[in-house]
A = this chain, B = another copy of it.
Amino acid sequence: MRFSISLILLPLALFGEPADWLITARYLVPMDASRRVIEDGAVAVGGSRILAAGSRAEIEKRFSSRHRLDAGDAIIAPGLINAHTHAAMSLFRGIAGDVPLREWLENYIFPAEAKNVTPEFVRWGTKLAALEMMHGGTTTFADMYYFESDVAEATREAGLRGVLGETILKFPAPDFKTPQAALEYTARFIERFRGDPLIVPAVAPHAIYTNTSATLRAARALAARYGAPLLIHVSETERENKDSLAGHGLTPTAYLHSLGVLAGRTLLAHGVWLTDADMELVRQANAGVAHCPSSNLMLASGIAPVTAMLRHGISVGLGTDGPAGSNNDFNMMEEMDLAAKLQKVTVGDPAALKAVDAIAMATVLGARAIGMENEIGSLESGKKADLITIRLTRPHAVPLYDVYRQLVYALKASDVRDVMVNGRFVLRQGRSLTLPEAEVLSNARRLARKVVRQQKFASPAPGLAAQ
């Protein structure tokens, strides 16, 4: 009798729908519209896409998989989206800081960039950043820097997903001396990388105060020609707002709107000083905002009105910004925690920006902010297989009463164990499968020594080292 039952069940198990990977864990947080938490969850992956996400029982019954990963006492979650950074600045990590913004930029960052930023620097810097990002569960990042083709190649090598834009400035940058040259480079960059499975080429005019209206319009036109996203810093500081009002009679957002720059896929970084009217413009334009809480504190820019933005219906993602004195890391777990806590104290309500909302900002909302909500941000059938596992086994993760609160307020980047991007594991058991860690770190140290040698610091900070 037992034998005959097996004979009946066997073909179902053997000839279930085929999958490449079946990933299981104690909890699954798909971040779909229901915001459900599935106990004993599973995700089936076929090629680069998610076939299904649900309970282990249901997924195991339906699929027959070539490979399996049981993450055990862990959470499966969507890969985190770092919506604003300057990855290659990893090589300037903490080179300056604890100084006012203008001094930081003019005495440290600009001279250091002018002397050091080369394609080689950008490649190793991006790899170092990618290594740190994958260790912390980030699968997609939005980047603005120089030599962006080299950023893209390093990102592909890392196996991460990147929305990448060459920074366009009205003054000479380490690679191009004019905004025209940077725009032309951007066009070639888009031609080269569009359709890439991992790279979304973007157009990235730095800000309104570092570009002419002609360049801003040209950037939008270029983005429109290719359907590419446009990335720009907006209302990061109060001074930017004041200068814009003085110079244009408009807030930075209203100024961009008046130039037609918001007409199309747009990601605004920071938005600390957005007014209610700005938020309405942003919402109407369906633009996204990358909230960068650590950076906004570190540079004393202010605390962004995130709950107000969310109330306006704006898609607000989370970003780390660069690590050269405005963070100093690429740790999205910390950004989630900080984003939630900051809104509570700012609004004066512990119920403001709950844990689940902070995770949404780092996943589904972040995906919407960068215009990729149909591809990434949640674990749902048909989306790209960008997912992570986070262990629940360290002392700081025990006990567990609520999965969302644990994720945001207790778990750390160091709890991320496995990272899959586009159906491929880039990290397993806390080890990178794509980047040679020792080689990346030794090159990072070598390039940093060069930075120290080349740089004559006006006033070296105590402990400044040559490593």
| C-alpha gap A350/B102 in the complex (Å) | 10
- Beta-carbon contacts under 8 Å, A96-112 to B: 97-101, 104
Taken residue by residue from 377 to 409, chain A's Cβ proximity to chain B (1 for < 8 Å, 0 otherwise) reads as 000000000000000011110111111111001
Contact with A395, one of B100, B128, B300, B404 (Cβ below 8 angstroms):
B128
In the complex, A36 has a CB within 8 A of chain B: yes
In the complex, identify which listed stretch (A56-64, A243-251, A311-319, A351-359) lies at the interface while the others stay far away: A351-359
Contact with A345, one of B27, B297, B441 (Cβ below 8 angstroms):
B297
Residues of B within 8 A of A394 (CB): 132, 135
- Given A300-B350, A344-B297, A350-B299, also A399-B463 (CB < 8 A): no
The answer to whether A400 touches B465 (Cβ under 8 A) is yes
| C-alpha gap A327/B340 in the complex (Å) | 11
- Beta-carbon contacts under 8 Å, A292-347 to B: 294, 296-303, 323, 327-331, 334, 337-338, 340-342, 344-345, 347
- Given A94-B402, A396-B132, A401-B94, also A409-B345 (CB < 8 A): no
- Beta-carbon contacts under 8 Å, A414-467 to B: 414, 437, 440-441, 444-445, 447-448, 451-452, 461-465, 467
In the complex, A157 has a CB within 8 A of chain B: no
Q: Which residue of B lies closest to A405 (CB)?
A: B94
- Given A401-B465, A410-B93, A467-B399, also A101-B328 (CB < 8 A): no
In the complex, A281 has a CB within 8 A of chain B: no
Q: Which residue of B lies closest to A134 (CB)?
A: B395
| C-alpha gap A101/B350 in the complex (Å) | 7
The answer to whether A331 touches B396 (Cβ under 8 A) is yes
In the complex, A91 has a CB within 8 A of chain B: yes
| C-alpha gap A164/B303 in the complex (Å) | 36
Q: How far does the Cβ of A91 sit from chain B's closest Cβ, in whole Å? A: 6
The answer to whether A461 touches B301 (Cβ under 8 A) is no
In the complex, A173 has a CB within 8 A of chain B: no
Q: How far does the Cβ of A225 sit from chain B's closest Cβ, in whole Å? A: 37
- Given A94-B400, A334-B334, A338-B338, also A395-B440 (CB < 8 A): yes
In the complex, A221 has a CB within 8 A of chain B: no
The answer to whether B300 touches A352 (Cβ under 8 A) is yes
Q: Which residue of B lies closest to A108 (CB)?
A: B401
In the complex, A68 has a CB within 8 A of chain B: no
The answer to whether A37 touches B101 (Cβ under 8 A) is no
Taken residue by residue from 177 to 209, chain A's Cβ proximity to chain B (1 for < 8 Å, 0 otherwise) reads as 000000000000000000000000000000000
Q: Which residue of B lies closest to A132 (CB)?
A: B395
Contact with A355, one of B98, B331, B400 (Cβ below 8 angstroms):
B98
- Given A351-B99, A462-B36, also A93-B297 (CB < 8 A): no
Q: How far does the Cβ of A260 sit from chain B's closest Cβ, in whole Å? A: 33
- Given A135-B395, A341-B298, A350-B98, also A35-B405 (CB < 8 A): no
Residues of B within 8 A of A285 (CB): none
Contact with A298, one of B92, B296, B344, B463 (Cβ below 8 angstroms):
B344
Residues of B within 8 A of A233 (CB): none
Residues of B within 8 A of A399 (CB): 91, 93, 444-445, 447-448, 467
Residues of B within 8 A of A94 (CB): 400-402, 405-406, 409-410
Known: A91-B399, A98-B355. 17 other contacts (CB 8 A): A27-B463, A94-B410, A98-B340, A98-B405, A99-B350, A135-B395, A294-B341, A299-B344, A300-B345, A300-B347, A328-B410, A329-B396, A338-B338, A395-B437, A395-B441, A399-B467, A404-B463
